[in-house]
Amino acid sequence: MLLAILLQAVSEGAGLGIMGAGIGAGLVALGAGLGIGRIGGSAMESIARQPEAGGKIQTAMIISSALIEGVTLFGVVVCLLIAIA
Amino acid sequence: MKRLFVLLFSFLTLTAFAEAPEEGGEFQPGDMITHHIADDYTWHFADGAVVYLPVILVDNGEFKVFSSHNFYNEHHETVAYDGYALEHGHIVKVNEAGEPLEDHAGLYDFSITKNVASMFVSVALLLGIFFVIAGRYKRNPKAAPRGIQSFFEPIIIFIRDEIAKANIGPKYERYMPYLLTVFFFIWFNNLLGLMPGGANLTGNIAVTLVLAAITLLITVFSGNKSYWKHIFATPGVPTWLAPIMIPVELIGILTKPFSLMVRLFANITAGHIIILSLFSLIFIFRSVAVGPLSVAFATFMNFLELFVALLQAYIFTLLSAMYFGGAVEEHDHAEDHH
């Protein structure tokens, strides 16, 4: 099934680049999901252990998710440029 | 109140598609979306409600000011005017036959485009609101806040206490004007971009580039001795590593504002694209049944974007404050680096 789709994409030629953008977007979402999910999970755990430090943990959580998101968005922009161009 | 919300929702969902695809032509979601997120010489609120913005050109030292209405004939097709024409959203020089010339030397475009007009609106709004607030504090600083002042005071206090004081330290006061300005500028423009017919200003990489460049300049110019020492002679690193360390540290100075730029640009642009794609589904499937689902998702995304608008303004301000904090931080303790 997958092979057939791949073969068709190769025979069409131009579609391959678009497919790359789609796969890239999927991988980007996977990476960001894993990264931010881990941060969120750990933050939840730490807040549950130490509710009084909740504010500080939340700030640190937002900063590190923003940093991960920044790298993710580089990938998204690349995919977008492939898809549009 | 409930009626107001219903009205607002129907307005929000309607105007995103005020520009119907041209009759007879196939609906192209990609073209529609790029048209909506890109800058333009006209401000298109709805069909029939178009503001033609002024075009200001400097052609080899000669000023040319005219309305962008001249670029369109009565059938909304682009036409050449006075030796200029629109090509792929840019103004180019053309010859008598209307073909673009090869040589564009000396042509500079200072037009009031959709983004610039939207920025003027936001600046007028910001100046109006904050001069009123600042005036009240000046006149009677001891009085309790009232009106719009009570809405903004907690936000200003939050930026001062949680962002500036917490990340910059005792020298935070010098940076407060910039941090407050950048926070409210980004937030207001994000929200204006979400309004029906709004321009995608903070989703324009040129705008975010300038904002990030200001952060970079302030960081570099407020860098103290220990900041530069950490870049050119990082404590605890052997001297023979300097040829590797110094370029890496110098690139590090630039990557911070670069990520600020891309983060804001991509977040806002992605939000716009998602909402427009959800609306496009109705036109792709050509079915009324898809409508409610698509509108429900788009409404959800709109609420998410309201949160993202605030979050991105917060992140930009917070990270700027952290970079300033890193530049003015005093390192008294040598043992920190072991």
Interface touch B266/A84, C-beta < 8 Å: no
CATH of the domain at A80: 1.20.20.10
In A, minimum Cα distance to B34 occurs at A84
Chain B within 8 Å of A59 (Cβ-Cβ)? yes
Q: Per residue in B274-318, pLDDT tens? A: 888 888 888 888 888 888 989 999 999 999 999 999 999 999 999
Given this model, what pLDDT does residue B25 score? 66
- The whole-chain average pLDDT of chain B stands at 84
Q: Is the pLDDT of residue B1 over 60?
A: no
Distance CA B56, CA A56 (A): 50
- Which of B208, B258, B259, B323 to probe by mutation at the A interface, max A CB count within 10 Å? B259
Tokens of residue B199, six digits: 């321009």
B86 min Cα distance to partner chain A (Å): 20
Q: Residue A11: inside a domain, yes or no? A: no
Interface touch B267/A69, C-beta < 8 Å: yes
Q: Residue A30: inside a domain, yes or no? A: yes
- What letters, b where the CB count within 10 A reaches 16 and e where it falls short, cover B115-126? bbbbbebbeeeb
| Residue B266 with chain A: CB contacts under 8 Å | 73-74, 76-77
Q: Residue A74: inside a domain, yes or no? A: yes
End-to-end CA distance of chain A: 28
Distance CA B160, CA B206 (A): 28
Given this model, what pLDDT does residue B317 score? 95
B132 min Cα distance to partner chain A (Å): 31
Q: Is the pLDDT of residue B175 over 90?
A: yes
Q: Which of A62, A63, A84 minimises the CB distance to B34?
A: A84
Q: Residue A14: inside a domain, yes or no? A: no
The number of distinct structural domains making up chain A is 1
Given this model, what pLDDT does residue B303 score? 92
Q: Per residue in A54-79, pLDDT tens? A: 888 988 898 888 888 888 888 888 88
Query: How does residue B153 score in pLDDT terms, banded at 50, 70 and 90?
Result: very high
Given this model, what pLDDT does residue B127 score? 95
| Residue B269 with chain A: CB contacts under 8 Å | 80
Distance CA B307, CA A35 (A): 21
Tokens of residue B222, six digits: 């407020």
Q: Residue A53: inside a domain, yes or no? A: yes
Tokens of residue B296, six digits: 């429900």
Q: Is the pLDDT of residue B91 over 90?
A: no
Q: How far is CA A16 from the centre of its chain?
A: 21
Q: Which of A63, A71, A73 minimises the CB distance to B267?
A: A73
| Residue B322 with chain A: CB contacts under 8 Å | 63
Interface touch B318/A63, C-beta < 8 Å: yes
Q: Residue A48: inside a domain, yes or no? A: yes
Given this model, what pLDDT does residue B86 score? 79
Q: Residue A52: inside a domain, yes or no? A: yes
Query: How does residue B15 score in pLDDT terms, banded at 50, 70 and 90?
Result: very low
- Of B8-17, B20-29, B65-74, B125-134, the least confident: B8-17
Residue with tokens 């129907």: B10
Query: How does residue A5 score in pLDDT terms, banded at 50, 70 and 90?
Result: low
Chain B within 8 Å of A66 (Cβ-Cβ)? yes
Burial class (CB in 10 A: 0-12, 13-18, 19+), B184: buried
Query: How does residue A40 score in pLDDT terms, banded at 50, 70 and 90?
Result: very high
Q: Is the pLDDT of residue B329 over 70?
A: yes
Q: Residue A72: inside a domain, yes or no? A: yes
Interface touch B263/A77, C-beta < 8 Å: no
Torsion angle of alpha carbons B126, B129, B132, B136, nearest 10°?
-110
Given this model, what pLDDT does residue B164 score? 92
Chain B within 8 Å of A70 (Cβ-Cβ)? yes
Q: Is the pLDDT of residue A10 over 70?
A: no
Q: Is the pLDDT of residue B11 over 70?
A: no
Structural domain that includes position A40: 26-84
